Amino acid sequence: MHVAIETKNLTVKFEKKFVALKDVNITLPAGKIIGFIGPSGAGKTTLIRCLVGRQKITHGSAKVLGVQAGSAKLRGRFSYMTQSLSVYPDLTVRENFSYFASMLGQKGAAKVAMIAVVLEQVDMTPQADRLVSGLSGGQKQRVSLGVSLLGDPEILFLDEPTVGLDPVLREQLWDLFRELVTAGKTIVLSSHVMDEADRCDDLLLIRDGKVLAHASPKRLRAQTRTKSVEESFIELVGEQHESA
Amino acid sequence: MSPRKTLATTHRVLRQLGHDRRTLALLFVVPPMLLTIIKYAFQSEPSKFNQLGPMLLGIFPMVMMYLVASIATLRERTNGTLERLMTMPAGKLDFILGYAAAFSLVALVQATISAVVILGLLRVTVMSGALSVILGALASAFLGTSLGLFTSAFATSEFQAIQFMPTFIFPQLLVCGLFVARDHMVRFLQLLADVFPLTYSVDAMKQIALYADWSTTLTRDFVIVLAYALLALLLGSLTIRRRQ
């Protein structure tokens, strides 16, 4: 197994008091879709921000592709789609792609070609020259995802990539994720929608800054003798309360 | 830092303004409009306007660029685009200098229009000539841009950013010599005026209006304004953190 991400005792405290993540020890495989699943406020975003190097780690360590998270050497090897839109509403789709591609060091004909490919991948070619502010919520979300596909990153960190999308669109995005992983990429995504968990290869169930479970959906269901990840989650939270 | 990425940022900011014609129109039309109003307000004392007009041209570009720059960067900090950029292989200076260059180009157009209006239509005579007036207005705009980029780091909302204008700009305006000659003010206000950058921007315009020759005082004024602007840009880049 190729390791994409490894953390040891990863702990994050905000203002020295609130513990956002506590002793997270995980080893995540490359070439898979990995889901960080849990209610909002559980620590999913904080964990992603640690891995992309935006969040200061209080103690412990985090490695991405074998390199210390946040290291300048990693920049360009992964992409990060934040929970907020993180594209420019007052630019067209193509202008957004062009700017972020330039910031990733792309140029010339290769840049133009790459933008054309990404426009197709996120199915935005017909809207390429429209302002993002005039697009629907789902289209905006796809533009933001498109930015994360630029520059051929090895790992895609996607914070709630499918939130607010209609079921058909969500299906399309999951097809795209599967395609990307087949092509060798690693996708780390967060979601508070439990039914999405069943589509991941590897799951982290997170609650109150702690990892409750780490397994494939199938194994999780088997371990907790439940039919869905949602039920597993409830089961695990119950166990946690009993042991506490 | 890379020139290509800095230019990409400049290009992107200009594209954003290009899609926002109304903001552009306001930037270009408002300073001549205000100057025209003041001209007619002082109709009974034309010599007073001849003295005030150039000084105001040391102030308006600063105030307007301050607002545009601080709101633009605040949006960038709050909508997730800066968060995303900071995980990419691009320097903080690519971002800051790209912004400064874009707004300076806009300011050049603004300064030229204002100079044409004040010298041509409003018949103000300046001893040092049109080019010096444009340079003075440009320095004022550059100062405003830099201060805006810097102070927006301390605002967490648009409300706060707007309030920073009366907080940071008005005190400078009150003691810069526009309302009361600086040597007529009490000592501590004189000291304040001495440390405020706007004082030198206004003084430069005064020198340009009064003297045909480029004096050492004028050189000093320009150097101080540019030094403050560069300092603000540097501090602004320090407020952008890779890791939070």
Half-sphere exposure of B123 (CA within 13 A, CB side): 5
pLDDT tens, residue by residue, B185-224: 999 999 999 999 999 999 999 999 999 999 999 999 999 9
**How many angstroms separate the CA of residue B80 from the nearest CA in chain A?**
4
Q: Which two tokens stand for residue A209?
A: 């800054």
Question: Which of chain B's residues have a Cβ under 8 Å away from the Cβ of A14?
Answer: none
Chains A and B form CB pairs within 8 A to the count of 83
Question: With 90 as the cut, is the pLDDT of residue A17 above it?
Answer: no
Q: Grade residue A209 by pLDDT with cuts at 50, 70 and 90.
A: very high
Of the residues B4, B6, B11, B12, the best mutation for testing chain A's interface (the one with the most A CB atoms within 10 Å of its CB) is B12
Strand ranges (E), B91-141: none
CA angle, B153 as apex, B148 and B159 as ends, to 5°?
75
Query: Nearest CA of chain B to the CA of A228: how many Å?
Result: 34
Confidence tier at B242 by pLDDT (50, 70, 90): confident
B70 pLDDT above the threshold of 80: yes
ipTM, two decimals: 0.91
A55/B94 CB distance under 8 A:
no
Cα(B147)–Cα(B70) distance, integer angstroms:
8
Residue that is written with structure tokens 């953390």 in the block = A7
Chain-wide mean pLDDT for chain B?
94
Q: Which of A65-69, A169-173, B210-214 has the lowest mean pLDDT?
A: A169-173
- Cβ–Cβ contact B122 with A under 8 A: no
> At residue A110, does pLDDT exceed 80?
yes
Indicate the SS3 state at residue A24: strand
> What's the CA gap between A141 and B31, in Å, rounded?
39
pLDDT in tens, A83-109: 998 999 999 999 999 999 999 999 999
- pLDDT exceeds 60 at position A69: yes
Mean pLDDT of the region B86-90: 94
Query: Distance between CA atoms of A21 and A47, rounded to whole angstroms?
Result: 7
Nearest CB among A75, A81, A91 relative to B89 is that of A75
- Which of residues A217 and B40 earns the better pLDDT score? B40
Query: Cβ of A85 and B8 within 8 Å?
Result: no
Domains annotated for chain A, with CATH where assigned, are 1-73+154-244 (3.40.50.300), 78-153 (no CATH)
Residue A15 binned pLDDT confidence (cut-offs 50, 70, 90): confident
Cα Dmax for chain A: 61
Average pLDDT over residues A61-86: 94
CB of A115 closer than 8 Å to CB of B97: no
Contact assignment for A99 to B9 by CB distance below 8 Å: yes
How far is it, in rounded angstroms, from Cα B183 to Cα B185? 6
What's the pTM?
0.92
The answer to the question of residue B222 being in a domain is: yes
Q: Please state, as a whole number, how many other Cβ atoms lie within 10 Å of the Cβ of residue A143.
A: 28
* Structural domain span for residue B229: 3-239
List Cβ<8 Å contacts ≥24 apart for A211-217.
A211/A24, A211/A25, A211/A26, A212/A38, A212/A236, A212/A237, A212/A240, A214/A26
Report yes or no on B189 lying in a domain: yes
Q: Which residues of A77-112 are buried (b: 16+ CB within 10 A; e: fewer)?
A: ebbbbbbebbbbbbbbbbbbbbbbbbbbbbeeeebe
Q: In the predicted model, is pLDDT for residue A51 greater than 90?
A: yes
Q: What is the mean pLDDT of residues B13-17?
A: 97
- Do the domain assignments include residue B244? no
Residue A32 CA to residue A199 CA, distance in Å, equals: 11
pLDDT digits (tens, 9 = 90+) for A36-47: 998 888 999 999
Contact at CB, A70 and B243, closer than 8 angstroms: yes
Inter-chain touch B84–A86, beta carbons under 8 Å: yes
pLDDT at A220: 86
Among B75, B81, B93, B244, most A C-beta atoms within 10 A, so best to mutate, is B81
- Own/partner contacts of B37-40, CB < 8 Å, gap of 24 or more, are B39/B122
Judged by average pLDDT, the poorest of A230-234, B144-148, B155-159 is A230-234
Average pLDDT over residues B33-55: 92
The answer to whether position B225 is within a domain reads: yes
Could you say which of B2, B11, B87 has the minimum Cβ distance to residue A52?
B87
What pLDDT was estimated at residue A20?
Answer: 94
What pLDDT sits at residue A244? 57
- Structural domain contains residue B100: yes
The H-or-E segment that residue A64 falls in is strand A59-64
Domain count, chain B: 1
